[in-house]
Structures are given as C-alpha cells and as structure tokens.
Amino acid sequence: GDSVTQMEGPVTLSEEAFLTINCTYTATGYPSLFWYVQYPGEGLQLLLKATKADDKGSNKGFEATYRKETTSFHLEKGSVQVSDSAVYFCALSRNTGRRALTFGSGTRLQVQP
Amino acid sequence: DGGITQSPKYLFRKEGQNVTLSCEQNLNHDAMYWYRQDPGQGLRLIYYSQIVNDFQKGDIAEGYSVSREKKESFPLTVTSAQKNPTAFYLCATSLKGQFTGELFFGEGSRLTVL
C-alpha cells in the first residue's frame, strides 16, 4: 500500500540556519505530494504541494521538489525563524481511487534564537 | 466565523465506555474525514465521507463508527472494542469536485482512557 517515510525528529536549528526535512514515498502510479504544518496548539494546515514530477511547490520561503526518480519530496528553507517551530508532515494522495491523504509520521522542528 | 469545530477538546473515559466526538463545519464542504494522531506515527485515516449518508472505512476503522446524516456533521464514536483509544483525534474537510489534496483541519480532540 501507499506509505510516506520522514526523517525522525526533533530537528533543532539556530535562527537563520538552512533546513532540510527528508521525505520519501511509496505509491503506485503518480501521486500528488504535500507538506502540512502543525503549529503548537493548532490544527494542520497545508504548506505546499506538487502534483507531478519535477514540479516545485513553494510557500512562506519553504520549497519542495517532486523527484520521481528518487521518490522524494524533501522540504527546504534557506533561513529558518523561531516562528517556524512546528511539526511538519509529508503526505500523498492518489490521483485515482481513494480521495484521502496518507501522512508520514511528522518531524518536529525547534528553532532557537 | 467559517470553520471546523471539534468538541470536546479534552475527554476522559473509563474502559468499556463508548464515547462520541463531535465535528461540525460551516464551510459547505462535501467531504469530511477523521484521522487519529499518535506520537511517532503521524496521522492515520479512520473513516471518511464524500457525501451525506455515505462513508468509507479508512486504514484503522476497527473499533470506531461514524454517521453522516447532515452535510455539516460527522460524529465519530469510539467504542469499547477499540483496544487502544487514547489518542488525539482530528477532523478534516475538503471541497467537492476533483480532489486537490487540500484538507482543512479542526483543532482536535484529545481522548484519554483511564
């Protein structure tokens, strides 16, 4: 079945450091890929997405590129801020069949001033 | 305000009791979902519903039940058959039409079984 694997956290960085959170997936066909973010005390919200190979999703300084050859969708940001501290979830959806998301286990990011 | 309301935010239950978690939305979204969140395991799909009076099992439906009698409401019952019910439960919705993958989440309900 479909699955998403993320790097374990927590990831602890200093402000203005470069961020990478790894995500790889297993799925049949060509899924759409997503990053969701959960800030402390809040529900999840969509951060960015990509629907086909080589697409780059971007939002709020975060980027991720859909790499079909490596089945990956790594999240990057050039300079993190304390306000980026949250839990980040990678997810996929099939483009046919079940209309729901399959999530990874989440990676907690802690940014220190 | 438009949004998704989950209640209660915190709930304590004794073993052997059923409990129902409420999810109400006024976004006029057709699809609704229940996910369970456990530390280190991310979110796992329990049930989802694309339209009123219809719903499908997700990956971990055993020990749970749902109903979808109104578009606005998708309550989740955690039954005594659920072996390990202590978890954080998230309700979500999505727009009708082609599934874009964008889900809108409530703030969650934390269930603790004593």
pLDDT of residue B23: 98
SS3 A4: strand
pLDDT tier, B1 (very low <50, low <70, confident <90, very high otherwise): low
Measured between CA atoms, how close is A104 to chain B, in angstroms? 6
Q: What is the pLDDT of residues B51-104, one digit of tens each?
A: 999 999 999 999 999 999 999 999 999 998 888 899 999 999 998 666 778 899
Confidence of residue A13 (pLDDT cuts 50, 70, 90): very high
Beta bridge partners of A55: none
DSSP bridge pairs for A89: A36
Alpha carbon B91 to its chain's center: 4
pLDDT > 90? residue A94: no
For residue A30, pLDDT over 90 is answered with no
What's the mean per-residue pLDDT of chain A?
93
The three-class DSSP label of residue B15 is coil
Across the interface, of A46, A91, A93, the residue whose CB is closest to B99 is A93
Task: Report the half-sphere exposure of B2 (CA within 13 A, side-chain side).
Answer: 5
Residue B16: how many CB atoms within 10 A of its CB? 8
Half-sphere exposure of A89 (CA within 13 A, CB side): 25
DSSP A54: T
What is d(CA A11, CA A53) in angstroms, rounded to the nearest whole number? Answer: 27
> Cβ separation of B45 and A46 shorter than 8 Å?
no
CA nearest to B46 within chain A: A100
CB-closest option in B42, B100, B101 to A106: B42
Token couple for B77: 């019952």
Q: If we measure between CA atoms, which residue out of B30, B8, B39, B9 comes closest to residue B92?
A: B30
pLDDT tens per residue, range B23-48 = 999 999 999 999 999 987 889 999 99
